[in-house]
């Protein structure tokens, strides 16, 4: 069984989230959001110890723009939401590469979800997680994480379960610093992640937050082909920069 991380598993000294000024309009699309968010990450530009990691699939177009602006390599950290049995759109937790599982114990207790039921969902999502790792990365290993400044990116955060699973997965790989960066987030979630990550950059924390998609003019589903194309393009830029 995968380890369980609850909201009580927090570091003793929480970080403080950073925020951009409130936006007067929605993002045009994920790439527009990435370009705007990159402006808040200038301290990490053109350093040789920075890696940008995206949560696929929606985080990849955002992260691609950030990686391009910072001159940093881009890769993915695969995370899968654990949906409620019979209601998969509602998250009761998430899993990430490295056999990390984060559960929302409040939801599980309120709805009396049994651990056998949770394990059934977990096994199914693990199969999909491994499929996506193979699809996006092939036989290429995870990039070096130890001692590096890792910027972990998604297109937004509602509950933050997926991002939190990603942060805990990275902790086991001993980075020097984990920076969570999202264009838009529920304010409470942004503050919650500040207790897990070393730094949190939430571009926009609207008072009336219903969903991530409401803050984008275009919020089409990112395809696997688009993820692979963006990763390949980033790799080509990195190679050209070293020549």
Cα(185)–Cα(112) distance, integer angstroms: 28
| Mean pLDDT computed over every residue of the chain | 87
SS3 for 17-53 is EEECCCCCCCECCHHHHHHHHHCCCHHHCCCCCEEEE
Neighbours of 97 (CB within 10 A): 22
pLDDT tens, residue by residue, 29-72: 999 999 999 999 999 999 999 999 999 999 999 999 999 999 99
Cα(42)–Cα(44) distance, integer angstroms: 5
Length of the chain: 243
State the pLDDT at residue 98: 77
pLDDT tens, residue by residue, 138-179: 888 889 999 999 999 999 999 898 899 999 999 988 999 999
């Amino acid at each position: 069984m995968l380890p369980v991380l609850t909201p009580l598993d927090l570091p003793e000294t929480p970080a403080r989230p950073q925020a951009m000024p409130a936006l007067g309009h929605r993002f045009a699309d994920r790439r527009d959001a990435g370009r705007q968010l990159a402006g808040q990450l200038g301290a990490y530009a053109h350093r040789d110890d920075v890696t940008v990691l995206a949560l696929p699939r929606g985080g990849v177009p955002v992260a691609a723009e950030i990686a391009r602006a910072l001159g940093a390599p881009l890769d993915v950290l695969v995370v899968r939401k654990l949906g409620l049995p019979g209601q998969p759109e509602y998250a009761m937790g998430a899993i990430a590469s490295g056999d990390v599982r984060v559960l929302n114990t409040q939801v599980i207790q309120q709805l009396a979800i049994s651990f056998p039921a949770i394990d059934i969902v977990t096994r199914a999502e693990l199969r999909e997680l491994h499929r996506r790792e193979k699809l996006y990365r092939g036989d290429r290993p995870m990039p070096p994480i130890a001692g590096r400044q890792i910027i972990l990116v998604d297109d937004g955060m509602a509950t933050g379960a997926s991002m939190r699973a990603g942060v805990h997965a990275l902790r086991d790989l001993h980075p020097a610093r984990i920076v969570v960066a999202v264009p838009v987030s529920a304010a409470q979630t942004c503050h919650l992640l500040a207790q897990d990550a070393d730094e949190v950059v939430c571009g926009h924390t609207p008072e009336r937050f219903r969903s991530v998609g409401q803050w984008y003019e275009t919020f089409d589903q990112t395809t696997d082909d688009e993820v692979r194309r963006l990763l390949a393009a980033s790799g080509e830029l990195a190679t050209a920069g070293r020549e």
